Structure 1
Amino acid sequence: MGTVTGVVFRPQSPPEHLRAVVEAADAAAAEGGVDELWVWEDCFLEGGLTTAAAALAWSTHVRVGVGLLPVPLRNPALAAMEIATLARLFPDRFVVALGHGVLDWMAQVGARAASPMTLLREHTASVRDLLSGERVDVAGDYVHLDGVTLDWPPVQPPRLLVGARGPKTVRLAGEVADGVLLDGVVEPEVVVRGRATAQEGREAAGRAGATYVAAYTEIATAEVSADGVAGRVSRLVEAGADSVILQSDADDPDPRPLVAALAEREHAD
Protein backbone atom coordinates (compact mmCIF):
# COMPACT_ATOMS: atom_id res chain seq x y z
CA MET A 1 0.00 0.00 0.00
CA GLY A 2 1.29 3.48 -0.85
CA THR A 3 1.49 6.49 1.40
CA VAL A 4 -1.84 7.32 3.07
CA THR A 5 -2.57 11.05 3.16
CA GLY A 6 -5.43 12.93 4.73
CA VAL A 7 -6.70 16.33 5.78
CA VAL A 8 -8.49 17.60 8.88
CA PHE A 9 -11.83 19.35 9.03
CA ARG A 10 -11.08 21.50 12.06
CA PRO A 11 -14.07 22.23 14.29
CA GLN A 12 -13.21 25.92 14.20
CA SER A 13 -15.27 25.76 10.99
CA PRO A 14 -19.02 25.64 11.66
CA PRO A 15 -20.83 22.35 10.99
CA GLU A 16 -22.65 23.77 7.98
CA HIS A 17 -19.30 24.07 6.17
CA LEU A 18 -18.67 20.34 6.43
CA ARG A 19 -20.51 19.16 3.34
CA ALA A 20 -18.53 21.28 0.91
CA VAL A 21 -15.28 20.00 2.42
CA VAL A 22 -16.49 16.39 2.29
CA GLU A 23 -17.44 16.74 -1.37
CA ALA A 24 -14.04 18.25 -2.24
CA ALA A 25 -12.18 15.51 -0.35
CA ASP A 26 -14.30 12.77 -1.86
CA ALA A 27 -13.72 14.05 -5.38
CA ALA A 28 -9.98 14.09 -4.73
CA ALA A 29 -10.17 10.60 -3.20
CA ALA A 30 -11.84 9.29 -6.35
CA GLU A 31 -8.75 10.46 -8.27
CA GLY A 32 -6.27 9.09 -5.74
CA GLY A 33 -5.22 12.44 -4.33
CA VAL A 34 -6.60 12.15 -0.79
CA ASP A 35 -7.24 9.02 1.25
CA GLU A 36 -8.74 10.29 4.50
CA LEU A 37 -10.76 13.13 6.00
CA TRP A 38 -10.44 13.50 9.77
CA VAL A 39 -12.75 15.28 12.19
CA TRP A 40 -12.20 16.26 15.81
CA GLU A 41 -14.22 16.25 18.99
CA ASP A 42 -12.85 19.30 20.74
CA CYS A 43 -14.87 20.80 23.59
CA PHE A 44 -17.13 22.61 23.05
CA LEU A 45 -17.29 22.69 19.29
CA GLU A 46 -18.61 19.67 17.35
CA GLY A 47 -19.42 16.05 18.13
CA GLY A 48 -16.96 13.64 16.57
CA LEU A 49 -19.28 10.75 15.79
CA THR A 50 -22.15 12.89 14.54
CA THR A 51 -19.77 14.79 12.26
CA ALA A 52 -18.22 11.54 11.04
CA ALA A 53 -21.63 10.03 10.31
CA ALA A 54 -22.58 13.00 8.15
CA ALA A 55 -19.24 12.93 6.34
CA LEU A 56 -19.59 9.21 5.61
CA ALA A 57 -23.13 9.65 4.34
CA TRP A 58 -22.10 12.48 2.01
CA SER A 59 -19.15 10.58 0.50
CA THR A 60 -18.33 7.42 -1.39
CA HIS A 61 -14.56 7.15 -1.67
CA VAL A 62 -12.80 8.96 1.17
CA ARG A 63 -12.16 7.22 4.48
CA VAL A 64 -13.33 9.20 7.52
CA GLY A 65 -11.43 9.30 10.80
CA VAL A 66 -12.34 10.65 14.20
CA GLY A 67 -9.36 11.78 16.16
CA LEU A 68 -9.98 11.73 18.85
CA LEU A 69 -12.86 10.68 21.08
CA PRO A 70 -12.13 11.69 24.72
CA VAL A 71 -12.74 8.55 26.75
CA PRO A 72 -14.00 10.29 29.92
CA LEU A 73 -17.08 11.45 28.00
CA ARG A 74 -18.43 8.00 26.99
CA ASN A 75 -19.12 4.64 28.51
CA PRO A 76 -17.03 2.14 26.49
CA ALA A 77 -20.10 0.04 25.68
CA LEU A 78 -21.78 3.07 24.11
CA ALA A 79 -18.58 4.02 22.28
CA ALA A 80 -18.32 0.49 20.86
CA MET A 81 -21.99 0.49 19.81
CA GLU A 82 -21.60 3.77 17.93
CA ILE A 83 -18.30 2.80 16.30
CA ALA A 84 -19.67 -0.61 15.29
CA THR A 85 -22.75 0.96 13.72
CA LEU A 86 -20.70 3.26 11.51
CA ALA A 87 -18.25 0.49 10.64
CA ARG A 88 -21.11 -1.75 9.46
CA LEU A 89 -22.85 1.02 7.54
CA PHE A 90 -19.64 2.14 5.82
CA PRO A 91 -17.28 -0.86 5.65
CA ASP A 92 -13.56 -0.07 5.36
CA ARG A 93 -14.23 3.68 5.39
CA PHE A 94 -14.02 4.47 9.08
CA VAL A 95 -11.13 4.76 11.52
CA VAL A 96 -11.23 6.03 15.08
CA ALA A 97 -8.81 7.23 17.73
CA LEU A 98 -9.44 7.32 21.46
CA GLY A 99 -7.59 9.51 23.91
CA HIS A 100 -7.45 11.33 27.21
CA GLY A 101 -9.05 14.51 25.92
CA VAL A 102 -7.77 17.87 27.13
CA LEU A 103 -7.66 17.38 30.89
CA ASP A 104 -8.79 20.91 31.71
CA TRP A 105 -11.85 20.39 29.54
CA MET A 106 -12.55 17.06 31.20
CA ALA A 107 -12.39 18.79 34.58
CA GLN A 108 -14.67 21.53 33.30
CA VAL A 109 -17.45 19.01 32.63
CA GLY A 110 -16.83 17.00 35.80
CA ALA A 111 -15.30 14.01 33.99
CA ARG A 112 -11.58 14.25 34.76
CA ALA A 113 -10.20 10.95 36.06
CA ALA A 114 -7.74 10.74 38.91
CA SER A 115 -5.67 8.38 36.74
CA PRO A 116 -6.17 9.23 33.05
CA MET A 117 -3.77 6.46 31.99
CA THR A 118 -5.73 3.79 33.85
CA LEU A 119 -8.99 5.01 32.37
CA LEU A 120 -7.56 5.07 28.83
CA ARG A 121 -6.11 1.58 29.20
CA GLU A 122 -9.36 0.07 30.52
CA HIS A 123 -11.58 1.92 28.07
CA THR A 124 -9.51 1.19 24.95
CA ALA A 125 -9.07 -2.49 25.74
CA SER A 126 -12.81 -2.85 26.36
CA VAL A 127 -13.78 -1.09 23.13
CA ARG A 128 -11.25 -3.16 21.18
CA ASP A 129 -12.60 -6.44 22.55
CA LEU A 130 -16.24 -5.45 22.03
CA LEU A 131 -15.55 -4.50 18.40
CA SER A 132 -13.94 -7.92 17.94
CA GLY A 133 -17.22 -9.58 18.98
CA GLU A 134 -16.00 -10.77 22.35
CA ARG A 135 -17.97 -11.06 25.58
CA VAL A 136 -16.39 -8.52 27.89
CA ASP A 137 -16.27 -8.71 31.67
CA VAL A 138 -14.30 -5.94 33.34
CA ALA A 139 -14.18 -4.85 36.96
CA GLY A 140 -11.63 -2.08 36.71
CA ASP A 141 -11.01 1.18 38.48
CA TYR A 142 -13.17 3.02 35.94
CA VAL A 143 -14.71 0.49 33.54
CA HIS A 144 -17.34 -1.95 34.79
CA LEU A 145 -18.84 -4.31 32.21
CA ASP A 146 -20.75 -7.45 33.12
CA GLY A 147 -21.04 -9.93 30.27
CA VAL A 148 -21.39 -7.28 27.56
CA THR A 149 -21.44 -8.42 23.92
CA LEU A 150 -22.37 -6.40 20.86
CA ASP A 151 -25.27 -7.89 18.91
CA TRP A 152 -23.98 -6.22 15.74
CA PRO A 153 -20.18 -6.14 15.88
CA PRO A 154 -18.49 -5.02 12.68
CA VAL A 155 -17.59 -7.76 10.21
CA GLN A 156 -14.13 -6.19 10.12
CA PRO A 157 -13.33 -3.95 13.10
CA PRO A 158 -12.12 -0.51 12.06
CA ARG A 159 -8.57 0.50 12.81
CA LEU A 160 -8.50 1.64 16.44
CA LEU A 161 -5.79 4.12 17.40
CA VAL A 162 -4.84 5.94 20.57
CA GLY A 163 -4.08 9.63 20.24
CA ALA A 164 -0.91 10.51 22.11
CA ARG A 165 1.79 13.07 22.77
CA GLY A 166 3.72 11.91 25.83
CA PRO A 167 5.84 8.74 25.78
CA LYS A 168 3.69 6.90 28.35
CA THR A 169 0.56 7.30 26.25
CA VAL A 170 2.45 6.48 23.04
CA ARG A 171 3.64 3.25 24.64
CA LEU A 172 0.12 2.49 25.82
CA ALA A 173 -1.12 2.86 22.24
CA GLY A 174 1.16 0.02 21.24
CA GLU A 175 -0.02 -2.11 24.13
CA VAL A 176 -3.79 -1.86 23.66
CA ALA A 177 -4.62 -0.47 20.19
CA ASP A 178 -3.81 -1.04 16.54
CA GLY A 179 -1.60 2.00 16.50
CA VAL A 180 -0.91 5.55 17.57
CA LEU A 181 -2.09 8.92 16.32
CA LEU A 182 0.74 11.39 16.98
CA ASP A 183 -0.36 14.99 17.40
CA GLY A 184 1.42 18.18 16.46
CA VAL A 185 4.18 16.53 14.44
CA VAL A 186 6.58 18.76 12.54
CA GLU A 187 9.99 17.16 12.96
CA PRO A 188 10.58 13.63 11.60
CA GLU A 189 12.33 12.66 14.84
CA VAL A 190 8.95 12.74 16.60
CA VAL A 191 7.76 9.98 14.29
CA VAL A 192 10.94 7.96 14.74
CA ARG A 193 10.64 8.09 18.54
CA GLY A 194 6.90 7.51 18.46
CA ARG A 195 7.15 4.41 16.32
CA ALA A 196 9.90 2.93 18.47
CA THR A 197 8.06 3.64 21.73
CA ALA A 198 4.72 2.32 20.52
CA GLN A 199 6.37 -0.81 19.15
CA GLU A 200 8.07 -1.40 22.47
CA GLY A 201 4.68 -1.30 24.13
CA ARG A 202 3.21 -3.68 21.59
CA GLU A 203 6.00 -6.22 22.01
CA ALA A 204 5.91 -5.94 25.81
CA ALA A 205 2.22 -6.81 25.67
CA GLY A 206 3.01 -9.90 23.59
CA ARG A 207 1.20 -8.60 20.53
CA ALA A 208 2.47 -9.58 17.09
CA GLY A 209 2.92 -7.30 14.10
CA ALA A 210 3.86 -3.68 13.65
CA THR A 211 2.18 -0.71 15.26
CA TYR A 212 0.38 1.59 12.82
CA VAL A 213 1.61 5.19 13.04
CA ALA A 214 -0.50 8.12 11.91
CA ALA A 215 0.74 11.70 12.26
CA TYR A 216 -1.16 14.97 12.42
CA THR A 217 0.96 17.80 11.05
CA GLU A 218 -0.03 21.45 10.79
CA ILE A 219 1.07 23.27 7.67
CA ALA A 220 0.99 27.03 7.40
CA THR A 221 -1.10 28.64 4.69
CA ALA A 222 2.03 30.08 3.07
CA GLU A 223 3.42 26.54 2.65
CA VAL A 224 0.32 25.12 1.00
CA SER A 225 1.52 24.17 -2.46
CA ALA A 226 2.05 20.84 -4.13
CA ASP A 227 5.79 21.06 -3.43
CA GLY A 228 5.35 22.17 0.17
CA VAL A 229 2.84 19.45 0.89
CA ALA A 230 4.91 16.80 -0.89
CA GLY A 231 8.00 17.71 1.09
CA ARG A 232 6.21 17.52 4.44
CA VAL A 233 4.57 14.20 3.59
CA SER A 234 7.74 12.58 2.29
CA ARG A 235 9.82 13.59 5.33
CA LEU A 236 7.33 12.09 7.77
CA VAL A 237 6.84 8.93 5.73
CA GLU A 238 10.60 8.41 5.52
CA ALA A 239 10.67 8.72 9.32
CA GLY A 240 8.15 5.91 9.66
CA ALA A 241 4.64 7.36 9.41
CA ASP A 242 2.09 5.07 7.78
CA SER A 243 -0.29 7.97 7.23
CA VAL A 244 0.20 11.73 7.24
CA ILE A 245 -2.79 13.93 8.01
CA LEU A 246 -2.42 17.60 7.15
CA GLN A 247 -4.19 20.28 9.15
CA SER A 248 -4.50 23.98 8.49
CA ASP A 249 -4.07 26.49 11.28
CA ALA A 250 -6.97 27.57 13.49
CA ASP A 251 -7.09 31.07 12.00
CA ASP A 252 -7.61 29.72 8.48
CA PRO A 253 -9.19 26.30 9.04
CA ASP A 254 -10.62 25.51 5.60
CA PRO A 255 -8.75 22.37 4.43
CA ARG A 256 -9.77 22.61 0.78
CA PRO A 257 -6.46 24.27 -0.25
CA LEU A 258 -4.72 21.25 1.29
CA VAL A 259 -7.02 18.93 -0.63
CA ALA A 260 -6.14 20.76 -3.85
CA ALA A 261 -2.41 20.60 -3.09
CA LEU A 262 -2.56 16.87 -2.40
CA ALA A 263 -4.49 16.31 -5.62
CA GLU A 264 -1.93 18.36 -7.58
CA ARG A 265 0.87 16.37 -5.97
CA GLU A 266 -0.78 13.13 -7.04
CA HIS A 267 -1.11 14.30 -10.65
CA ALA A 268 2.50 15.50 -10.66
CA ASP A 269 3.66 12.06 -9.49
Structure 2
Amino acid sequence: MELETYIVNAFADAPGRGNRAGVVVSPEHPPEDVMQIVAADIGASETAFVAPEERAWNIRWFSPLKEMSLCGHATLAASRVLFGKEPLIDSLVFRYAGGILPVQRYPDDSIGMDFPLDDYMRCPPVAAFDDFFGPLRVTDCICGRRTGKVIIVTDEGTDLRTIAPDFNRMVEYRGLCGSGIAVTKASSVYDFESRYFNPWAGVNEDPVTGSVHTVLARYWSERLEKKTLAAFQNSSRPGELLLTVGDDRVEIRGKARIVLQGTFFP
Protein backbone atom coordinates (compact mmCIF):
# COMPACT_ATOMS: atom_id res chain seq x y z
CA MET A 1 0.00 0.00 0.00
CA GLU A 2 1.24 3.48 -0.90
CA LEU A 3 -0.51 6.60 0.42
CA GLU A 4 -0.24 10.09 -1.09
CA THR A 5 0.68 12.19 1.91
CA TYR A 6 1.20 15.87 2.71
CA ILE A 7 2.26 18.02 5.65
CA VAL A 8 0.45 21.36 5.73
CA ASN A 9 0.76 24.39 8.02
CA ALA A 10 -2.84 25.43 8.69
CA PHE A 11 -3.98 28.95 9.64
CA ALA A 12 -0.65 30.33 8.47
CA ASP A 13 1.12 30.91 5.16
CA ALA A 14 4.75 30.49 6.22
CA PRO A 15 7.07 27.80 7.56
CA GLY A 16 7.27 27.48 11.34
CA ARG A 17 3.82 28.97 11.95
CA GLY A 18 0.30 27.61 12.22
CA ASN A 19 -0.83 24.11 13.05
CA ARG A 20 0.96 21.30 11.27
CA ALA A 21 -1.50 18.72 9.89
CA GLY A 22 -1.08 15.52 7.96
CA VAL A 23 -3.25 14.93 4.90
CA VAL A 24 -3.63 11.53 3.21
CA VAL A 25 -5.48 11.33 -0.11
CA SER A 26 -6.54 7.91 -1.36
CA PRO A 27 -9.22 6.36 -3.61
CA GLU A 28 -10.82 4.89 -0.48
CA HIS A 29 -10.03 5.06 3.21
CA PRO A 30 -7.47 2.58 4.50
CA PRO A 31 -8.59 0.30 7.36
CA GLU A 32 -9.03 2.11 10.68
CA ASP A 33 -6.01 0.47 12.28
CA VAL A 34 -3.86 1.62 9.37
CA MET A 35 -5.17 5.18 9.62
CA GLN A 36 -4.35 5.21 13.34
CA ILE A 37 -0.83 3.92 12.72
CA VAL A 38 -0.25 6.49 9.96
CA ALA A 39 -1.51 9.33 12.18
CA ALA A 40 0.76 8.18 15.02
CA ASP A 41 3.78 8.00 12.72
CA ILE A 42 3.11 11.40 11.13
CA GLY A 43 2.88 12.76 14.67
CA ALA A 44 0.88 15.89 13.89
CA SER A 45 -1.92 16.85 16.27
CA GLU A 46 -4.34 15.54 13.62
CA THR A 47 -4.11 13.85 10.24
CA ALA A 48 -7.00 14.11 7.79
CA PHE A 49 -7.81 11.14 5.56
CA VAL A 50 -9.83 12.09 2.48
CA ALA A 51 -11.35 9.90 -0.22
CA PRO A 52 -13.72 10.83 -3.08
CA GLU A 53 -17.40 10.12 -2.52
CA GLU A 54 -20.26 11.14 -4.87
CA ARG A 55 -19.07 14.62 -5.96
CA ALA A 56 -17.74 15.23 -2.46
CA TRP A 57 -14.90 14.06 -0.25
CA ASN A 58 -15.32 11.80 2.76
CA ILE A 59 -13.08 13.00 5.57
CA ARG A 60 -11.93 11.43 8.83
CA TRP A 61 -9.51 12.81 11.40
CA PHE A 62 -7.07 10.96 13.64
CA SER A 63 -4.85 12.27 16.42
CA PRO A 64 -1.79 10.19 17.35
CA LEU A 65 -3.99 8.34 19.90
CA LYS A 66 -7.55 8.18 18.58
CA GLU A 67 -10.09 9.17 15.95
CA MET A 68 -11.50 12.68 16.40
CA SER A 69 -15.11 13.69 15.76
CA LEU A 70 -14.21 17.07 14.21
CA CYS A 71 -11.03 18.94 13.33
CA GLY A 72 -10.83 22.39 11.79
CA HIS A 73 -7.15 22.82 11.03
CA ALA A 74 -6.80 19.41 9.35
CA THR A 75 -9.89 20.20 7.26
CA LEU A 76 -8.25 23.44 6.18
CA ALA A 77 -5.08 21.51 5.37
CA ALA A 78 -7.02 18.95 3.31
CA SER A 79 -8.79 21.77 1.48
CA ARG A 80 -5.46 23.35 0.55
CA VAL A 81 -4.25 20.03 -0.88
CA LEU A 82 -7.45 19.40 -2.88
CA PHE A 83 -7.63 22.94 -4.26
CA GLY A 84 -4.01 22.51 -5.37
CA LYS A 85 -4.93 19.32 -7.21
CA GLU A 86 -7.93 21.01 -8.89
CA PRO A 87 -6.95 24.68 -9.40
CA LEU A 88 -10.05 25.56 -11.45
CA ILE A 89 -12.53 24.90 -8.65
CA ASP A 90 -13.31 27.32 -5.82
CA SER A 91 -15.59 25.19 -3.66
CA LEU A 92 -15.83 21.64 -2.38
CA VAL A 93 -17.80 19.62 0.15
CA PHE A 94 -16.57 17.25 2.83
CA ARG A 95 -18.79 14.54 4.28
CA TYR A 96 -18.15 13.26 7.79
CA ALA A 97 -20.06 11.35 10.47
CA GLY A 98 -21.74 14.54 11.69
CA GLY A 99 -22.94 15.82 8.31
CA ILE A 100 -21.35 17.99 5.64
CA LEU A 101 -18.71 20.74 5.68
CA PRO A 102 -18.86 23.12 2.69
CA VAL A 103 -15.59 24.87 1.88
CA GLN A 104 -14.96 28.00 -0.23
CA ARG A 105 -11.71 29.40 -1.65
CA TYR A 106 -11.48 33.20 -1.80
CA PRO A 107 -9.57 35.44 -4.27
CA ASP A 108 -6.84 36.13 -1.65
CA ASP A 109 -6.29 32.33 -1.50
CA SER A 110 -7.76 32.07 1.98
CA ILE A 111 -10.18 29.22 2.61
CA GLY A 112 -13.47 29.44 4.48
CA MET A 113 -14.99 26.38 6.14
CA ASP A 114 -18.67 26.23 7.09
CA PHE A 115 -18.84 24.55 10.51
CA PRO A 116 -21.71 23.93 12.92
CA LEU A 117 -21.72 26.63 15.61
CA ASP A 118 -21.46 25.11 19.07
CA ASP A 119 -23.66 26.34 21.89
CA TYR A 120 -22.26 26.41 25.40
CA MET A 121 -23.26 26.22 29.02
CA ARG A 122 -21.58 27.87 31.97
CA CYS A 123 -19.76 25.58 34.36
CA PRO A 124 -18.04 26.34 37.66
CA PRO A 125 -14.23 26.22 37.59
CA VAL A 126 -12.88 23.09 39.24
CA ALA A 127 -9.96 22.92 41.67
CA ALA A 128 -7.94 20.94 39.13
CA PHE A 129 -7.55 24.09 37.01
CA ASP A 130 -5.12 25.43 39.61
CA ASP A 131 -3.14 22.21 39.29
CA PHE A 132 -3.08 22.62 35.50
CA PHE A 133 -2.21 26.31 35.20
CA GLY A 134 -1.25 27.65 38.61
CA PRO A 135 -2.80 30.95 39.75
CA LEU A 136 -4.99 32.25 36.94
CA ARG A 137 -7.69 34.88 37.24
CA VAL A 138 -10.85 33.17 35.92
CA THR A 139 -13.63 35.57 34.93
CA ASP A 140 -15.87 33.01 33.21
CA CYS A 141 -15.91 29.30 32.43
CA ILE A 142 -17.97 27.59 29.73
CA CYS A 143 -18.29 24.17 28.13
CA GLY A 144 -19.31 23.46 24.52
CA ARG A 145 -22.50 21.42 24.35
CA ARG A 146 -21.53 19.64 21.12
CA THR A 147 -17.76 19.46 21.40
CA GLY A 148 -17.46 19.15 25.18
CA LYS A 149 -14.51 21.54 25.11
CA VAL A 150 -13.96 23.62 28.24
CA ILE A 151 -13.00 27.28 27.90
CA ILE A 152 -11.56 29.36 30.72
CA VAL A 153 -11.93 33.10 30.23
CA THR A 154 -9.32 35.31 31.86
CA ASP A 155 -8.82 39.08 31.97
CA GLU A 156 -7.21 41.04 29.16
CA GLY A 157 -4.10 41.78 31.21
CA THR A 158 -3.09 38.10 31.27
CA ASP A 159 -0.16 37.24 29.00
CA LEU A 160 -1.28 33.92 27.52
CA ARG A 161 2.24 33.10 26.34
CA THR A 162 3.42 32.84 29.96
CA ILE A 163 1.00 30.04 30.81
CA ALA A 164 3.00 26.84 31.39
CA PRO A 165 0.57 23.95 31.98
CA ASP A 166 1.44 20.89 34.02
CA PHE A 167 0.64 18.30 31.37
CA ASN A 168 1.33 15.36 33.68
CA ARG A 169 -1.42 16.52 36.03
CA MET A 170 -3.70 17.23 33.08
CA VAL A 171 -3.40 13.82 31.47
CA GLU A 172 -4.07 12.08 34.81
CA TYR A 173 -7.29 14.06 35.33
CA ARG A 174 -10.60 12.39 34.54
CA GLY A 175 -13.45 14.87 34.59
CA LEU A 176 -14.90 17.97 33.02
CA CYS A 177 -12.28 18.78 30.39
CA GLY A 178 -11.37 15.40 28.91
CA SER A 179 -12.26 16.74 25.44
CA GLY A 180 -9.74 19.58 25.65
CA ILE A 181 -9.40 22.91 27.43
CA ALA A 182 -8.74 26.44 26.17
CA VAL A 183 -7.78 29.69 27.86
CA THR A 184 -9.03 32.87 26.18
CA LYS A 185 -9.12 36.62 26.68
CA ALA A 186 -10.13 39.80 24.88
CA SER A 187 -7.33 41.35 22.84
CA SER A 188 -6.28 44.87 21.99
CA VAL A 189 -5.01 43.78 18.55
CA TYR A 190 -7.54 41.07 17.63
CA ASP A 191 -11.03 40.57 19.00
CA PHE A 192 -9.77 37.74 21.18
CA GLU A 193 -6.82 35.43 21.72
CA SER A 194 -6.61 31.85 22.97
CA ARG A 195 -4.45 28.84 23.66
CA TYR A 196 -5.71 25.25 23.56
CA PHE A 197 -4.51 22.06 25.27
CA ASN A 198 -5.57 18.44 24.81
CA PRO A 199 -3.11 15.93 26.26
CA TRP A 200 -6.07 13.53 26.59
CA ALA A 201 -5.82 13.10 22.79
CA GLY A 202 -2.04 12.89 22.77
CA VAL A 203 -1.56 16.60 21.94
CA ASN A 204 -0.22 18.68 24.82
CA GLU A 205 -0.83 21.95 23.01
CA ASP A 206 -2.61 22.27 19.70
CA PRO A 207 -1.08 25.37 18.05
CA VAL A 208 -4.14 26.62 16.12
CA THR A 209 -7.46 24.84 16.60
CA GLY A 210 -10.51 25.21 14.37
CA SER A 211 -12.94 23.08 16.37
CA VAL A 212 -12.61 25.04 19.63
CA HIS A 213 -13.44 28.19 17.68
CA THR A 214 -16.94 26.81 17.04
CA VAL A 215 -17.48 27.51 20.75
CA LEU A 216 -15.26 30.59 21.04
CA ALA A 217 -17.03 32.21 18.08
CA ARG A 218 -20.44 32.05 19.75
CA TYR A 219 -19.12 33.21 23.13
CA TRP A 220 -17.17 36.21 21.83
CA SER A 221 -19.83 37.12 19.27
CA GLU A 222 -22.38 37.42 22.07
CA ARG A 223 -20.01 39.15 24.46
CA LEU A 224 -18.67 41.68 21.93
CA GLU A 225 -21.94 41.94 19.96
CA LYS A 226 -20.12 41.30 16.69
CA LYS A 227 -20.77 38.83 13.87
CA THR A 228 -17.29 39.02 12.34
CA LEU A 229 -14.35 38.33 14.63
CA ALA A 230 -10.60 38.33 14.19
CA ALA A 231 -9.06 35.62 16.34
CA PHE A 232 -5.45 34.83 17.22
CA GLN A 233 -4.19 31.60 18.74
CA ASN A 234 -1.16 32.73 20.69
CA SER A 235 0.93 29.55 20.75
CA SER A 236 4.59 29.06 19.84
CA ARG A 237 3.33 28.40 16.29
CA PRO A 238 0.70 31.13 16.14
CA GLY A 239 -2.09 31.51 13.65
CA GLU A 240 -4.91 33.83 12.63
CA LEU A 241 -8.57 33.01 12.02
CA LEU A 242 -11.41 35.11 10.66
CA LEU A 243 -14.81 34.04 12.01
CA THR A 244 -18.20 34.92 10.55
CA VAL A 245 -21.02 33.91 12.87
CA GLY A 246 -24.53 32.97 11.70
CA ASP A 247 -27.52 31.57 13.57
CA ASP A 248 -26.25 28.01 13.80
CA ARG A 249 -23.13 27.99 11.60
CA VAL A 250 -19.76 29.69 11.66
CA GLU A 251 -17.38 30.23 8.79
CA ILE A 252 -13.81 29.67 9.95
CA ARG A 253 -11.45 31.24 7.45
CA GLY A 254 -7.68 31.15 7.14
CA LYS A 255 -4.72 30.39 4.94
CA ALA A 256 -2.59 27.26 4.71
CA ARG A 257 0.72 26.23 3.17
CA ILE A 258 1.89 22.82 1.95
CA VAL A 259 5.41 22.27 3.30
CA LEU A 260 6.00 18.62 2.43
CA GLN A 261 4.66 16.11 -0.11
CA GLY A 262 5.49 12.45 -0.44
CA THR A 263 4.41 8.83 -0.16
CA PHE A 264 3.68 6.97 3.06
CA PHE A 265 4.32 3.22 3.12
CA PRO A 266 2.28 1.72 6.00
What TM-score do you get using the length of structure 2 for normalisation? 0.28
Structure ranking higher in helix proportion: 1
Structure ranking higher in strand proportion: 2
